[in-house]
Chain A
Amino acid sequence: RKEVEQDPGPFNVPEGATVAFNCTYSNSASQSFFWYRQDCRKEPKLLMSVYSSGNEDGRFTAQLNRASQYISLLIRDSKLSDSATYLCVVRANTGNQFYFGTGTSLTVIP
């Protein structure tokens, strides 16, 4: 079983739509959770960390459900510039190993 699994998509949504991505992780002792954004032919960049209480940054909301071992990312009022691949990242409870999901592709359509 993979450490981190996420729906690869693609998600094609119109501008202004709300879209949600889910990601599941296998290690219940995992400590830290992140969403990264990767534009085509670019390196991944941290979008937001995911805190136990959930957190919001403008149009982006991240949630963590430890009982079900999944994290989610909600994007409201989608913009064309949100088009990218979104990577779910989980940090192991020991060492410095980060596990990356395969990414979910989002295309926002005019």
Chain B
Amino acid sequence: SAVISQKPSRDICQRGTSLTIQCQVDSQVTMMFWYRQQPGQSLTLIATANQGSEATYESGFVIDKFPISRPNLTFSTLTVSNMSPEDSSIYLCSVEGAEFYGYTFGSGTRLTVV
């Protein structure tokens, strides 16, 4: 399975600021996925990042709040913009394996907004 390097692993940010999370994959992948896991909750898909096109956002998530870049087949960034305490969460990038192999996740970014 792919190996994903995600950074930063954690950050504490002031409200109103923005944070960019990076994910680097050790192989070329068509799609990368960004998830959020709020405290005590399961994972919620934010968007799918496609190389060479705009990201596809899920209901409740918008590009202005969570802009995504996908400059090549091994890298993606997610920015959490104009942060509020409600954005405090774990953010995870992931890539899909072959059929029946599910997703591989990055180690996650634990974000606290104060």
Contacts and interface: CB of A to CB of B under 8 A. Distances in A.
A102 B41 contact: yes
Contact of B108 (A43, A89, A101): A43
A36 B92 contact: no
A17 interface: no
A26 to B, nearest CB: 15
A49 B1 CA distance: 14
Nearest to B103: A98
Contacts of B99: 32
Given A43-B92, A96-B33, A36 B102 contact: yes
A32 B106 CA distance: 21
Interface in B10-48: 31, 33, 41-45, 48
A103 B40 CA distance: 9
Nearest to B96: A96
Contacts of A91: 102
A68 interface: no
Interface of B: 1, 31, 33, 41-45, 48, 92, 96, 99-108, 110
17 contacts: A32-B99, A32-B100, A32-B102, A34-B102, A42-B107, A42-B108, A44-B103, A46-B104, A49-B101, A49-B102, A87-B43, A89-B102, A89-B103, A96-B31, A96-B33, A98-B103, A102-B42
Given A46-B104, A89-B103, 6 more contacts: A41-B110, A44-B43, A44-B105, A97-B45, A102-B41, A103-B42
